[in-house]
Structure 1
Amino acid sequence: MVEPRAKSTSRAGWVALAVACALVLTETSARGQTLLPEPSPATPAGSSEASTGAPPAPSVAALQPPARALDHADDTRWHPKRELHFGTADFVVTGIATGVVFGAAVTSPHSRHWRGGIGFDEDVRDALRAGSLRGRYWLRDLSDVGVSLASTWPFLVDALVTAWWHRGRADLAREMALVSAEAFALAAAIQGVANVAASRERPFGRLCGTEIPNESVDCDPGVRYRSFFSGHATLAFTSAGLLCANHLGLGLLGSPGDILTCTGGFTVAAMTGLFRVMSDMHYASDAGIGALVGTTVGLAVPLLHFRRSSTEPSAGTIEWRLAPVGRGIGIAGTF
């Protein structure tokens, strides 16, 4: 399980602290308040202080936060809770993973096949499998719709519509699309290698030559022996993980929109996996492993790319400066 990131330090705000070293002790401001100088007492006319001159009033600029914290003061763009960063190494990883996906797709499954279910697979198949061949084809089509919706949502809706159009952040939309592509490539590569290596017969394979003609595409070895583990479930749950990580980590819509999107993503993924079992394309264990792998990759990849927002001070840094306050010296800083 990935540990949640610490709460954004931008909410910690500014803490201004002034200490009078001589006669004046200025008030320590509360969290998020501005440090104000203590007014100096009036100096009687003709006094020695008048002849020497009163201490100069503190400059407003002297008590301002460091310039780094004001870099984005005039930036009216929406800023996410965190930023995403896709580097050169990620392009390499994505390219290699994509190559593995295409390689697995054109490679025939291992000649030694794995047949039958394990554990509860057969009981679940008997309970959930649609009774007619037409019904199973219909459910297969529904699973195709589910995985198509899930795999395009992070790009077309989250990146293009939400981040770019709604939030006006083309740079964030680009990073989201690249990170999503990397996650899908990695998940599909893992699934493709497992498909070829395991060479597990799909549940309907036992019907080839009887209910299903041997000449059909379904009974071709390149299709028949790719049951472990479910690619539809893997991609659908990868998408669900991406939706949750991006919405909850970046705050794309705010509450409750982000929570509803996360919940909806996992609902579509679960239904997609269920339809694959009901259509006799996969055993329950195939769908379950696909869900586990997809969720793990979908959550982990964006979490590894999150960076602190550019508007936040770096964690663990302390900045301070001295400034004249009345007849004393003040200290202003960020903690």
Structure 2
Amino acid sequence: MRTAAILLPALLVALSPVAAAAAEPSPELTYRPEVDLPIVVVGGAAWVASELAKKGLAPAPCRWCAANALDTSVRDALVWRGNPNTAHDLSNVAVVAVAPAAALGLTALAAWYDGRSENIAADLMIVAEATVVAMNLNQVTKYIVGRERPYSHFDNPDVLRAGVGLSGPLPNDDNLSFFSGHATATFALAAASGTVASMRGYRAAPWVWANGMAIAALSGYLRIAGDRHYFSDVLTGAVFGSAAGALIPALFHGPRRGVAGPDTHGFRISLAPARGGIGAGVAGTF
């Protein structure tokens, strides 16, 4: 027992940093499903309704018709000659399928990888909320500004010959260029998922950021290549989407430090005198 009495202090010194780190509560985000879920549902429904009502909401004549020198030069350099509608179709796949699947899927995977699967529902709801809010604000701006799209301004025959449909121009869409909804959505998804992963402290957070931003940048490029947006449309959408994606989670769902969630693991060691030496006990969750 004397040997145990000598070794125990050394063991406690070695374990103390590990114990302190393990006992520190993990950050819990502010999340109220009774508030956040209605925002996502109502906001999503409002956006869909605004799309269906585009005929009555979109300006018939353009309110912003001119193209500046920078936008024109970037368009001339990046637009796909002969097949801009292919770039347009790819950008739709990116915003409808690839970007949401990557942002939501990697956020969920990051939580699972750290053994915190109980966070997934809240994480995904926060990401969806930030994206829906950004998209609705973008939609209102597009209807107010009424900027003419580049294919309409330059009468691009490669776009117009496809007619109205999935690959050709959408009905009543000629004057809704500013600012890019695709860029807003993809950058909001990227920034929101990255911000949530960072605030949670997930080890895979850098991968969430890198993957989301790469997809968003590709989507923005495809909007210019498809002659649907100018460079300034995409840049504004990228800045606005990133700001909304980062600020909404940070301002309204910030970590509540010191509140331990159900995934918190920790332990403590207690000492007590014992006959001929010292007794040690370990308690906690593992």
Tell me if 1:171 matches 2:171: no
SS of equivalent to 1:85: coil
- The alpha-carbon deviation at position 191 of structure 1 amounts to 1.4
Alignment of 1:85-234 (within 5 A): 85-107=31-53, 108=55, 109-113=58-62, 114-118=64-68, 120-132=70-82, 134=83, 136-147=84-95, 148-159=97-108, 161-163=109-111, 165-206=112-153, 208=155, 210-211=157-158, 212-213=160-161, 215-217=163-165, 218-219=168-169, 221-234=171-184
Which consecutive unaligned segments of at least 5 residues does structure 1 have?
1-29, 35-68, 313-335
Identity %: 25
Does the 8 Å CA contact 2:110/2:205 hold for their aligned counterparts? no
Report the residue type matching 1:121 in the other structure.
D
- Deviation digits for residues 239-293 of structure 1, max 9, x if unmatched? 11023212222122x2xx3223312221221121112112211001110111011
Whole-angstrom CA distance in 2 between matches of 1:143 and 1:167: 32
Structure with the greater alpha carbon radius of gyration: 1
Contact 2:30 2:255 in 1 (8 A): yes
> CA 1:219/1:272 → structure 2, altered by over 3 Å: closer, same or farther?
closer
1:318 corresponding residue in structure 2 = none
Mapped contact 2:134–2:185 kept (Cα < 8 A): yes
- Once the two structures are superposed, residues 124-156 of structure 1 have per-residue CA deviations (whole angstroms, 9 ceiling, x without a partner) of 111221222x2x223223323332322222323
Cα 1:279–1:151 shift into 2, 3 Å: same
Aligned partners of 1:129 and 1:280 also within 8 Å: yes
Classify 1:143/1:214 alpha carbon distance in 2 versus 1 (closer, same or farther; 3 Å).
closer
Structure 2: distance between partners of 1:286 and 1:247: 28
CA contact (8 A) 1:179 1:302 kept: yes
Say which SS state the counterpart of residue 188 (structure 2) adopts: helix
Q: How is 1:1-335 mapped onto 2 (pairs within 5 angstroms)?
A: 80-107=26-53, 108=55, 109-113=58-62, 114-118=64-68, 120-132=70-82, 134=83, 136-147=84-95, 148-159=97-108, 161-163=109-111, 165-206=112-153, 208=155, 210-211=157-158, 212-213=160-161, 215-217=163-165, 218-219=168-169, 221-252=171-202, 254=203, 257-303=204-250, 304-309=252-257, 310-311=259-260
Relative to its length, the structure with more helix (as a share) is: 2
Residues 306, 186 of structure 1: alpha-carbon distance in 2 compared, 3 angstrom cutoff: same
CA distance in 2, matches of 1:268, 1:154: 10
Measure the CA separation in 2 of the matches of 1:258 and 1:173: 14
Residue 219 to residue 250, structure 1, CA distance change in 2 (3 Å): closer
Distance 2:79 2:92 in 1: 17
CA distance in 2, matches of 1:247, 1:228: 30
Q: 1:283 to 1:87 in 2, by over 3 A?
A: same
Structure 1 counterpart SS, 2:173: helix
TM-score by length of structure 2 reads 0.71
Question: CA 1:79–1:168 in structure 2 vs 1: closer, same or farther (change >3 Å)?
Answer: farther
Q: Which runs of 5+ in 2 are unaligned?
A: 1-12, 262-286
C-alpha separation in 2, matches of 1:102 and 1:115: 26
2:7 corresponds in structure 1 to none
Hey, what's the Cα distance between the residues in 2 that align with 1:267 and 1:154?
Answer: 11
Q: Distance in 2 between matches of 1:262 and 1:140?
A: 24
Distance 1:178 1:149, change over 3 A: same
Per-residue displacement from partner, 1:26-46 (whole Å, max 9, x unpaired)? xxxx9x969xxxxxxxxxxxx
Q: Secondary structure at the residue paired with 1:222?
A: coil
What secondary structure, in the 3-state scheme, does the structure 1 residue paired with 2:172 have? helix
Output the aligned Cα RMSD.
3.1
> Any idea what SS the aligned residue of 1:223 has?
coil
Q: How many residues align?
A: 235
- Residue 121 of structure 1, CA deviation: 1.0
